[in-house]
A = this chain, B = another copy of it.
């Protein structure tokens, strides 16, 4: 056991005896209600003798972190009431779900959104029963919990979410509890540096509270087992002024800990107020924001020993300390004693409602942390979106493809306008790639990168306030954006396609959050999570194989069809139209992959809008169809490079096999390929068949791994005739055209596939087929010899024409 350590110098009491009693009463009530959720099916207030039948048959949940979460909630309540400080509570140790639910119930919010769970004995009974029970609520802080904007399942993102919520919320305090287990994760370990990206005037305040309870599931935690001087140095190294409170060990009276903690909390909030005042007066420099380290026993107030083994203050308190409460009489008695140790008779009146003194220190209305609209998406307003048609690229239908532009750079112009129109609730996040992805320079005509560390003379586009957030951590970008969206604002995350896999698991969690929210009417919709994946697999000119991976699309479509949208715009105008749609949507994840390199522009703005609205369509100008009859073959594409290669292949075939009826199809909205019953965007079978035919060969050139197209079209009539060319995990640092050749996605290979798949065609045209093979060999030899594409690649018929 660890003895209380030296306290910081704040030792003057700031609250009186009555306030301490009230904090303690809230804490006991929250603890009691937490344990009840884990253990009890009936007899919630122990008004009859506890029997085994009152105990749940499967004991699920996590007690260990809960008393600490409840302790902090009680203390924050007191301070909020006193200071009228709008506050959001992020529970990093979200496994302490029963605690968050208990506090929301004590707040009254829980009964407001779930009237059935009222403040009565019966309501408490239902509160207990539903926890981790079929048809009830999950064991972690989840969307079901009012005031929770942070899923407590996977660990690591609490502090990133906290910063995301604080950006552009100047009057908000985000109290972020970080467990010492979570603190070992990589994303959390770097999230501390968020304070270099926070403006003390324009943004809110993040108060990190590192809760050291010493143990994870089966191990001590690193930060609880390093010398205190190292721990304090670490926090100072992260740019914080740390305040340490330790207590509750060796039977210390909790009321003494309440007094110490309240004094530290008041000191910390006073310092924050001083920093905010200085910032309001114009000092935007980075302050040493205070933070708190709270060291308490794991499972504080649970039985010290069970069956002769220490439990409180050990890892044995992590989940359910009494796993066999139902099975032995002795354990049942331990549970009974434990629950009665909180003196429920002093906490709940005859009806089951908390006594007024118990909830006297709670704030009211939206000052309740469980009712703060920030945590429930309630701040969201629609963006004011400038007309993207004004940014359109002029495409001459008589010379499609002649104009070469960087599509993402065009999008950058429009996004700069979006920023101008929405100066306070739209941000762009990126891991040092916003310029590389070509949103710059346009974007920096409208805004800067927010940066609150040192600036030197050669720096460009850095400022204490700005709409672009850049740090070399995909985890931070995603986590900040999630926090920003969950608290009701808008944004996008631009990143290299391959490395979005770094946040696969974060995407999964966010998609699950959105999916769960569909069942929760009182939660406000939030803006969609928008990805812009650029520097994609086909154009990793500087980087090679390690940067070539289009597999995030596969990860994305595993999640609920109600949530996930995947778009592959192939030129600037389709990208503009797509992104306008994405920024208007709510409660989705929109995955958009688009190239940043100069590339041919194909559609006029009107055509692009029409095409994107349909999501999939035929390009009559590219094919060689005959009015009134089905084509001989369909050449389909999804993605910018595949579209270029398909259009080139179609041009070759038009020129050399003019009687072959080739239909060219393009898919922008990938989900259109699925059936109606699989995805809301799914094309009805009749429409799909009308486009792709039911029996003609379809040569499909795809941006990603081919299997995804097969997966999406699995239930379609013609799927046996579908032949997909895509990334085959073959890559290196080489020329763009060598890349498509390596993966059989090039125009020649596609044209050869048409010859081979249309019955009789190859046999009828052996010389032409050989000519295509020869052209391919020539191209490969040229690129290997000279290290460049043939210059005429800009002409997409090259080099067959010559």
A residues whose Cβ falls under 8 Å from a Cβ of B: 1-2, 41, 56-58, 60-62, 95, 132-140, 142, 151-156, 181-182, 184-191, 193, 196, 216-222, 225-227, 230-239, 310, 313-314, 319, 432-436, 440, 449, 451, 453-459, 462, 470-476, 498-499, 501-502, 504-505, 508-509, 512, 515-516, 541-547, 549, 551, 554-555, 558-560, 705, 707, 710-711, 714, 729, 732-735, 738, 783-784, 786-788
If A551-B508, A714-B710 touch, does A193 touch B222 (CB 8 Å cutoff)?
A: yes
Contacts of A221 in B (CB 8 A): 472
The 7 closest A-B pairs by CB, nearest first: A153-B546, A234-B237, A186-B186, A189-B190, A225-B453, A233-B237, A138-B544
Cβ–Cβ contact A453 & B138, under 8 A:
no
Q: Which residues of B sit under 8 angstroms from A459, Cβ to Cβ?
A: 220
- Expressed in whole angstroms, the minimum distance between the Cβ of A447 and any Cβ of chain B is 15
| Minimum C-beta distance from A63 to chain B (A) | 12
Cβ contact of A219, chosen from B136, B470, B735, cutoff 8 A: B470
Which residues of the other chain, B, contact A140 by a CB distance below 8 angstroms?
543-544, 546
State how many angstroms separate the Cβ of A728 from the closest Cβ of chain B: 9
Contact between chains at A57 and B231 (CB < 8 Å):
no
16 contacts between A and B (CB under 8 A): A56-B787, A138-B544, A138-B732, A153-B545, A184-B193, A186-B475, A186-B476, A190-B190, A193-B222, A219-B449, A234-B238, A236-B237, A237-B238, A504-B505, A512-B546, A549-B558
Which B residues are CB-close (under 8 A) to A559? 729
Q: A153: which of B1, B57, B457, B543 is its contact (CB, 8 Å)?
A: B543
B319→A185 contact, CB < 8 A = no
Given contacts A138-B732, A142-B544, A218-B435, 9 further A-B contacts (CB under 8 A): A58-B735, A138-B546, A154-B546, A186-B191, A216-B432, A220-B451, A235-B237, A314-B458, A512-B546
Q: Are B216 and A787 in contact (CB under 8 A)?
A: no
Rounded to whole Å, the gap between the CB of A302 and the closest CB of chain B is: 14
Distance from A197 Cβ to chain B, minimum over Cβ atoms (Å)? 9
Which B residue's beta carbon lies closest to that of A61?
B542
B138 adjacent to A545 (CB under 8 Å): yes
Smallest Cβ-Cβ distance to A57: which chain B residue: B788
Q: Give every chain B residue within 8 A of A227 (Cβ-Cβ).
A: 454
Question: With a CB–CB cut-off of 8 A, which chain B residues contact A473?
Answer: 184-186
Q: Are B558 and A219 in contact (CB under 8 A)?
A: no
- On whether the beta carbons of A733 and B60 are closer than 8 Å, the reply is yes
Residue of B nearest to A475 (CB): B186
Contact of A544 with B153 in the complex, beta carbons under 8 Å: yes
**Residue with the highest number of chain B CB atoms closer than 10 Å, among A738, A784, A787:** A787
Name the residue on B nearest A155 (C-beta).
B472
Contact present for A236 and B239 (CB under 8 Å): no
Per the bound structure, the CA–CA distance linking A181 and B734 in Å amounts to 25
Chain B residues near A133: list those with CB within 8 A: 733-734, 787
A218 touches B138 (CB 8 A): no
A614 to chain B, nearest CB (A): 25
**Interface contact A196-B217, CB-CB below 8 Å:** no
Task: Give Cα A225–Cα B1 distance, bound, in whole angstroms.
Answer: 40
Q: State whether B181 touches A432 (Cβ < 8 A).
A: yes
Asked if residues B219 and A432 are in contact (CB atoms below 8 Å), the reply is yes
Residues A60 and B541 in contact, CB atoms below 8 Å apart: yes
Q: Tell me which residues across on chain B come within 8 A of A184, comparing CB atoms.
A: 190, 193, 471-473, 476
> Would B508 and A153 count as touching, CB distance under 8 A?
no
Cα(A261)–Cα(B499), bound, Å: 35
Query: A736's closest neighbor in chain B, by CB?
Result: B58
Distance between Cα atoms of A762 and B501 in the complex (Å): 45
Most chain B Cβ neighbours within 10 Å, of A156, A314, A542: A542
CB distance from A156 to the nearest CB of B (A): 7
Which residues in B have their C-beta under 8 angstroms from that of A156? 186, 502
